[in-house]
Structure formats: structure tokens, C-alpha cells
Amino acid sequence: MNERCESIRRRLAEDRCEAFFSLSPAANQYLTGFTGTTSAVVITAKEALFLCDFRYTEQAGEQVRDFEVVEITGTMETRVGEHLKALGVDCAVFDGTALTVWQADTVGKAFEGELCSVADIVSRQRQVKDADEIARVRAAAELADEVIMEVAGGLREGMTEREAAARIEFAFKARGAAGASFDTIALFGARSSLPHGMPGDKRLEKGDIVLIDCGCRRDGYCSDLTRTFAFDTIPGAWFEEIYAVTLTAQEAALEALRPGMLCREADAIARNLIRDAGYGAHFGHGLGHGVGIEIHEAPRLNVESDTVIEEGMVVTVEPGIYLPGRGGVRIEDLVVITRDGCAILSRTPKQLKVLSG
Ligand SMILES: [Mn+2]
């Protein structure tokens, strides 16, 4: 019996709905184990169907457990609607955050029954990880630790941001990851003030800040890690100050994180410290986010989230201070919430490190 599928069935019973369907690769991986990019899942009280096309039939045979694998041809959305109709369903729910309007319309045209969008039907379940999922995230986090130190230690004057990012992504694959869990961020000098800047042609110079935000996907699960370094020389007292404030805020949030706390309360711990140090306007993003099958998933640690933190959630803690035109600092760890606190999965040291040039 597939417990994740049974949980969907319990939710269907509570909501008095007869069927759930999904075309989301992340939700389908969670429910079935399938890691391909195109598939559909249909769940009713009695049926559990997994739909894929010819390209994936063999893979589905190896990966998919507890679902009846159905090979389809043509438009997946139309086939899903036809299956719902053939199952005699009147009402079907889907996760509205994971389906486009076109997809819903196309399913609906073939189905002819009632479709109902429910925002969090799978994503809420996915927030709390089981031991197997935590082990996979931990393994992905270990690889990020290895790779960031190896590549940061190998940076040389004149190397471009793009090359640094490419070295990280190569190292992930060479060490057995499926690849990066998102496009690697490697920013030098003043460009480190761009919280999600794209690596470009900027060449590394002595006295530059080096901000690296990277992670990999390994066995279907993601990691996420950010460190900020100085190259050869510390750029100035201002940088040491924003580094110290960011680190204090990050460690205070880690110290406080525990089950029962609201996500916005966790965010406020770091945010208040940064604001009190005079940099409130320069920390414009949330404290962190859930990590699992997707690099950004529920819960969100931000100023407005009322989600209660629970044991087994895996989240990032990543405050930053960004001074336009000068440079920025972000320090990010990946953590798992434990019974009475959190366990930090990221092992890369956080004291300000000056990379040798
Ligand atoms: Mn992150």
C-alpha cells in the first residue's frame, strides 16, 4: 500500500470529492517514485493510475510502485479527462498551483464533470519529510559542501563568474549528482549585491567579494547552500560589518527554529536583528524556503507565512544584506526541523574566509 496515495484518498473523502489528478512532475515523483518529466496521476477511492507515453514506459515499469501504468498516445491532458470520465467520476480535484489554465481546460473538455482547484493537496503533504527523504537531502547537502569548498579553493585571479559556476556544476555531475538543483549563482565584487544575479563575464580580482549559491539534485532530492568569501583581501570594514551582522542573524534564527513556531516568527528573528543593525532596507527577501523534490517548495519562511513549523520539515535559513553598487553577503544553511530544534545539514564553515589568490 502506498501511504502517500492513501493520504490523498483520505483527503478526497474529507472533501467529499471522488478523484484527484496531477500533471506535476514533482507531485508525481512524490506519489509514485517516477522521475521523468511527462506523466499524469489519477487517484480515486479504488483506482490509482499512472499515465505516461512510449518514451517512459520502461522507466515507469522500474520506478512506479502501487499504480497501474497506462501507456497513452496523443495529448496527456485529454487522456486524463477521458480516464476520469470512464471511471464514472463527477468531481475531480487538482492542485491549482501546479496546473496551467490551458491544462485544466483541456482536461475539463474531455472529462465533462466538475473540476475543483485545491491549492495545497500534495504540497502540504510534501512539507514534512520522512526518514528516507531526509537521508536523500542530507546526501545532496554533503555534496554541496564538498563542491563549494573545492571550487572556492581553486578560484584564481582572472577567472570569470561563468567559469566558477560551470566548475561547480561539473563537479556535481562528476561526483554522481543528476546535476545542479538550480542555475548556480557565482558573483564577484560589487555584483554580489544582486540577490539572484546571473553569473557573467566579470573576472575575479584581488579584494573582490565572492558569493556562491549552489546546490545539486541527487537521488531525486535537492540541496541549497550559500557562502560569501573575500578573495585575497577583505574589501573593507563595511564588508566585515555586514558579514558579521548577517552571520549573527543567521545563527540566531538557527538557534530559535523549532516546531510550533510560525514561519513568520522565524523570519522575524533574523529580520529584526538586521533591522536593528541599520540594514533593514537591504534584506528584501524571505529568510528561507522548503527544499525537497523541488528547490523551492513549501513552507516559505517569510514575513507573512502563518504556517506552523513541524518536525521533519526541511528548510533553508539564508538572511542576506545587499548594498547596491558595493556588494552583498548571504549565508545559507539547509536544516531539518527536529523534535525540539533543528539539525543543520550544511557543514561548510561560516567564519569569514579569505580565499588565497
Ligand atoms: Mn535558497
Residue 1's pLDDT band (boundaries 50, 70, 90)? low
Query: 153 with 114, same domain?
Result: no
Query: 138 with 209, same domain?
Result: yes
CATH of the domain at 61: 3.40.350.10
Query: 134 with 109, same domain?
Result: no
Residue 86 C-alpha cell reads as 470512464
- Cα(196) to centroid(ligand 1), Å: 10
Query: 253 with 316, same domain?
Result: yes
Reported as a single tens digit per residue, the pLDDT across 43-99 is 999 999 999 999 999 999 999 999 999 999 999 999 999 999 999 999 999 999 899
How far apart CA 318 and CA 17 sit, in angstroms, is: 39
- Cα(266) to centroid(ligand 1), Å: 15
Query: 118 with 175, same domain?
Result: no
How far apart CA 158 and CA 70 sit, in angstroms, is: 54
Reported as a single tens digit per residue, the pLDDT across 320-355 is 999 999 999 999 999 999 999 999 999 999 999 999
Q: Which residues surround ligand 1, an ion (CB under 5 A)?
A: 224, 316
- Cα(285) to centroid(ligand 1), Å: 11
- Among candidate residues 126, 152, 177, the one where a domain is terminated: 126
**pTM of the shown model:** 0.94
How far apart CA 328 and CA 323 sit, in angstroms, is: 6
Query: 301 with 156, same domain?
Result: yes
| Strand pairing report for 209-214 and 216-218 | unpaired
Query: 142 with 88, same domain?
Result: no
Query: 89 with 38, same domain?
Result: yes
Query: 253 with 263, same domain?
Result: yes
Query: 120 with 148, same domain?
Result: no
Provide the domain count of the chain. Answer: 2
CATH of the domain at 348: 3.90.230.10
Reported as a single tens digit per residue, the pLDDT across 120-153 is 889 889 999 999 999 999 999 999 999 999 999 9
Domain ranges, residue 107 = 3-126
Reported as a single tens digit per residue, the pLDDT across 90-128 is 999 999 989 999 999 999 999 999 999 988 889 889 999
Query: 121 with 157, same domain?
Result: no
- Cα(288) to centroid(ligand 1), Å: 6
